[in-house]
């Protein structure tokens, strides 16, 4: 899926369903940020640096697919710092 397709919304509804299922698992199973290993508070505002976000294993900027790509839970800050890096060690930035 090209970046243009992502902007145009193709697959967005399927991605939202996938993200919602992951959020439920974080809430129910206590999944942690795959980057730093810290707990994720799902009650935080989505703009908070420590809020939940779904991180694509293969970053979209590197050709990852919006829907078919596997996603993992991460803090917004950790995901932003990771950027387009393929993968990072859990201790890369330390648990916060």
Full pLDDT tens readout for the chain, 96 residues: 455 555 555 678 888 888 999 999 999 999 999 999 999 999 999 999 999 999 888 777 777 667 776 889 999 999 999 877 665 554 444 444
Residue 45 has a pLDDT of 96
What domain count does the chain have? Answer: 1
- The reported pLDDT for the residue numbered 15 is 83
26 and 55 Cβ atoms separated by less than 8 Å: no
- Look at residue 1 in the predicted model and tell me its pLDDT: 46
Say what the pLDDT of residue 82 is: 82
Which domain range does residue 33 map to?
3-85
Token output for 13: 């509804």
Asked if the structure places residue 95 within a domain, the reply is no
What does the alpha-carbon distance between residue 53 and residue 29 come to, in Å, rounded to a whole number? Answer: 16
- Inter-residue long-range contacts of 43-46, CB under 8 Å, 24+ positions, other chains counted: 46/76
In a domain, 72, yes or no: yes
7 located within any domain: yes
């Amino acid at each position: 899926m090209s970046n243009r397709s992502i902007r145009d919304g193709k697959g967005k509804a399927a991605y939202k369903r996938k993200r919602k299922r992951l959020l439920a698992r974080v809430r129910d199973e206590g999944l942690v940020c795959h980057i730093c290993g810290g707990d994720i508070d799902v009650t935080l505002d989505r703009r908070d640096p420590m809020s939940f976000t779904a991180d694509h294993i293969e970053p979209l900027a590197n050709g990852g697919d919006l829907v078919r790509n596997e996603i993992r839970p991460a803090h917004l800050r950790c995901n932003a710092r990771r950027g387009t890096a393929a993968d990072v060690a859990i201790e890369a930035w330390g648990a916060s």
